[in-house]
Structure formats: C-alpha cells, structure tokens
Structure 1
Amino acid sequence: MPAPLFIGDEVDAAAWRLTGVRVRDVGPGEVTRAVEEALAGDWELVLLSASRAGELTPELMERFSASVRPLTLVVPDATGRWHPPDLERLVRSRLGMVS
C-alpha cells in the first residue's frame, strides 16, 4: 500500500513527513488545487489539516469528505487552533438527538 498523502501547512507537513507520510505543503489559497489533484490521483488515504480544510468551499469539502477513494480525514493542526468538526455531535443534531 502506498504511503498516505498529507495536505497542510509547512509546520504540520514537517511533522507528518517524519512519520513516513508523503506531504504536500500548501500555502493559503493553494489548498483547492491540492485537494482537486488528490481526488484525481491514485491515493488510498489523504489527510488534510483542519486549518486548510477551513479554506475549502462547502461544495468541495463535501465532495472531498464524501469520496470513497481516496479515503479522506481532516486532522487537527499542530497549533491546536483548528479542530475537525465533531461529527458525532453533528449527526446527533441532524437526527434531533440533542444531548
């Protein structure tokens, strides 16, 4: 299985590179192109930093997160300022199961 791909900023990319993951260091405004290329590529798993995920249009984020291949995950960034959405809470809210 090929190594996963990480898309994020320079600091996060350096950390992920140490784990053996292929990285794509993108600056602000470059994430849309990187995500579209990842969707068109032959990746099994793509990790996207939460800070860069916040730059995507809702339509592209929906397409990216709904893709079966590559499997995609939004991961927290190193600064801790951005976090992926709480999916359990979102699903419960949409189902009317407010806790």
Structure 2
Amino acid sequence: MLGAWEFAISGGGYVPGEPAYLSFDVGGGLDRDGMQVWHYDGVAWNEYDARDLTYNGQYASFTVDGFSGYAVTGNPVPEPSLLGLLLPLGVALLRRRRRRDP
C-alpha cells in the first residue's frame, strides 16, 4: 500500500454525489499500469474504478463522487537486473579477445 486517506466534510460547499478531484503524494518510481485505487465504504475495502487515474511520477490523481476512505496500491518500476547489464559487456570483451587472437 502506498498510502490511505480518509475524508469527512463538514459545513457547506460540497454536495455529496458531485465529482471531486483528489491528488495523493504516493512517491516516485512507480508503474502507473500496476496502480489500483481502493475505497472503504465503512465496512470493507473494495477496488475503486478510477477511470481517470493519472500518475505524474509523484502524485496519483483521480475523481471521486463522495468522501470517505481511499487507498492507492502499486508496484515499483522494475529495475534492470545485473545480468542484463553485464551480459553486453561480457559479449564485447569476448569479441575483442577474438580479434586479438590469430
């Protein structure tokens, strides 16, 4: 889980059911395609269909139509493996060695 937030509105200014755009600081280095938004309805967490979910490298943003609990989960962007970085170097060294040998 990258973070969870709960909202309660008091006073005027917001009419329940109207859309509101939320942005949460979830950190960098994440894969947007692996992100999911969850909604807590007071009883259980359910996956929330955040059709307009965006991620700019730091903030996850989406539209809701009511305030309560929301959470964002996600996966870090996979880093290249050490083998993937060393393999081209090894191939280059072998080619260079073959050129020197008669």
* TM-score scaled by length of structure 2: 0.21
Larger radius of gyration: 2
* Larger helix proportion of the pair: 1
Q: Which has the higher contact order (CA 8 A, sep 6+)?
A: 2
* Larger strand proportion of the pair: 2
